[in-house]
């Protein structure tokens, strides 16, 4: 197994290199100029200086190499230094990826905004899982019952209606009409008292519910299918014939086997927490990673966009690997050697 993980990690390196180059090249070859938004009165020699200060006078492959070294070597070393106090090499002269818009290190911006994303989107992912699993179990156990039919329809609805519509409808109903929850997510709110805690919960209810509903509708379909696949297998009949109670058959024998594909699906879904948050954060004005990306795109802040996009790509590749490894660990029929 360890051999397999190492082999996969090594195989991920060229994939990530290709992806990083694609991301860098798309942004770099595009006909856009960071000095394009400056006033017309700025003379061309000043523009040239600005371009030099941004490092744009160097050829592309050198800038790609520099960016990659900053991303892969310098920034991890910085994180190591800040979190554990371990200093490796020359910490003073280490160059960092700087945002063109704020002139501050991109990683700092990302670290600043990650908690909001994790709280809102991560929590909804968790709730989605917790809702989807029991619903899927009951649906499969009572296949073609009224509950199953309603559940299938609601799942189809949740799967088809985009979150930017359910979210806006939730705002119309619960903020504009009923005035129960605030329309805009206030990230400056600090939880210092019970009142502030209630406010925080109130402003989280809508985004979390909307996203959780979307996640649950996708997962419950898979959960139902996974249980149905297992219900008619021989081992279930064996468990019943040796006199185990129906609940034990379902909750111990069937559930454990059905969860194998679900666990991998969940692992594959985790990177979408970060990428898919873009739309939800835009609806409810949560200033998380998704909003950072949108702002950076609109402001043509190329280094921020490159770094964020590559970070998303790393997460996808990493969780693909984790999903495969989990599958091998949970299902003894699969051996990777």
Partner 1 sequence: MNTQTTSIDPAVIDTEHRSMWTDVWRQFRKHKGALVGVFVFAFIVIAVFVGPPIHGVDPNAIDFRARNLGPEWAHPLGTDNIGHDTLAQMLAGGQVSLAVGLSAALIALILGTLIGVLAGFVKSLDGPLMRLTDVFLSLPLLPLLLVSIMLFRDTLRAAFGPETGIFLLIVGLIGVTSWMHTARIVRGDVLSIKEREFVTAAYSIGTRRYRIVFRHILPNILSPIMVSATLGIANAIITESALSFLGLGFPPDFPTWGRLLYDGTNFIQITPSRVIWPGVFIALTVLSVNYIGDGLRDALDPRLRGR
Among 187, 218, 282, 287, binds partner 1 (CB under 8 A): 282
Interaction mask 128-157, partner 1, x per CB under 8 A: -------------------------x--xx
**Residues with Cβ within 8 Å of residue 104, at least 6 apart in sequence:** 98
Q: How many residues touch partner 1 (CB under 8 A)?
A: 44
User: Are 321 and 8 contacting, i.e. CB atoms less than 8 angstroms apart?
Assistant: yes
Among 313, 323, 324, 328, binds partner 1 (CB under 8 A): 313
Whose Cβ is closer to partner 1: residue 128's or residue 276's?
276
* CB 145 to partner 1: min, Å: 17
Piece in contact with partner 1 (CB under 8 A), picked from 122-130, 140-148, 256-264, 297-305: 297-305
Q: Does 278 contact partner 1 by CB under 8 A?
A: yes
Whose Cβ is closer to partner 1: residue 19's or residue 249's?
19
Q: Does 316 contact partner 1 by CB under 8 A?
A: yes
Alpha carbons 305 and 50: distance in angstroms, whole number: 20
Residues 156-215 binding partner 1 (CB under 8 A) are 156-157, 159-162, 164-165, 168-169, 171-172, 176
Q: Which residue has the tokens 């799942």?
A: 155
By CB atoms closer than 10 A (0-12, 13-18, 19+), residue 285 is middle
Among 279, 295, 326, 330, binds partner 1 (CB under 8 A): 279
Among 308, 323, 324, 328, binds partner 1 (CB under 8 A): 308
* CB 250 to partner 1: min, Å: 26
* CB 325 to partner 1: min, Å: 16
Whose Cβ is closer to partner 1: residue 78's or residue 158's?
158
Whose Cβ is closer to partner 1: residue 138's or residue 277's?
277
* CB 85 to partner 1: min, Å: 33
Q: Does 317 contact partner 1 by CB under 8 A?
A: yes
Q: Does 275 contact partner 1 by CB under 8 A?
A: yes
Alpha carbons 182 and 201: distance in angstroms, whole number: 11
Residues 19-48 binding partner 1 (CB under 8 A) are 19, 22-23, 26-27, 30-32
Q: Which of 311, 318, 309, 312 is nearest to 28 (CA)?
A: 309
Residues 74-133 binding partner 1 (CB under 8 A) are none
Q: Does 309 contact partner 1 by CB under 8 A?
A: yes
Binding site for partner 1 (CB under 8 A): 15, 18-19, 22-23, 26-27, 30-32, 153, 156-157, 159-162, 164-165, 168-169, 171-172, 176, 271, 275-276, 278-279, 282-283, 293-294, 297-298, 300, 305, 308-309, 312-313, 316-317, 320
């Amino acid at each position: 197994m360890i051999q397999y993980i190492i082999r996969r990690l090594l195989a991920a390196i060229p994939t990530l290199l290709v992806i990083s180059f694609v991301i860098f090249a798309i942004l770099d070859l595009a006909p856009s100029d960071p000095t394009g938004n400056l006033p017309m009165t700025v003379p061309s020699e000043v523009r040239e200086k600005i371009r030099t200060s941004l490092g744009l006078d160097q050829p592309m492959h050198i800038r790609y190499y520099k960016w990659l070294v900053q991303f892969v070597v310098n920034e991890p070393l910085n994180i190591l230094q800040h979190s554990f106090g371990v200093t490796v090499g020359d910490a003073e002269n280490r160059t960092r990826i700087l945002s063109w818009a704020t002139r501050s290190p991109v990683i700092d911006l990302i670290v600043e905004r990650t908690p909001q994303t994790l709280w809102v989107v991560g929590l909804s992912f968790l709730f989605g899982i917790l809702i989807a699993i029991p619903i899927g179990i009951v649906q499969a156990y009572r296949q073609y019952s009224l509950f199953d039919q309603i559940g299938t329809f609601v799942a189809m609805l949740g799967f088809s209606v985009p979150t930017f519509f359910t979210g806006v409808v939730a705002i119309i109903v619960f903020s504009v009409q009923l005035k129960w929850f605030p329309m805009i997510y206030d990230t400056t709110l600090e939880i210092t008292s019970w009142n502030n805690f209630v406010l925080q919960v109130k402003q989280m209810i809508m985004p979390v519910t909307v996203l959780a509903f979307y996640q649950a509708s996708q997962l419950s379909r898979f959960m139902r299918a996974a249980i149905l696949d297992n219900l008619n297998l021989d081992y279930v009949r064996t468990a019943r014939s040796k006199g185990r109670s129906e609940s034990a058959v379902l909750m111990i024998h069937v559930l454990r086997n059905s969860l194998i594909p679900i666990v991998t699906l969940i692992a594959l879904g985790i990177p979408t927490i970060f990428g898919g948050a873009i739309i939800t954060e835009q609806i409810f004005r949560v200033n998380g990673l998704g909003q950072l990306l949108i702002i950076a795109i609109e402001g043509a802040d190329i280094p921020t966009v490159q770094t964020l996009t590559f970070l998303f790509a790393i997460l996808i590749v990493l969780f693909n690997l984790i999903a495969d490894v989990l599958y091998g660990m949970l299902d003894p029929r699969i051996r990777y050697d």
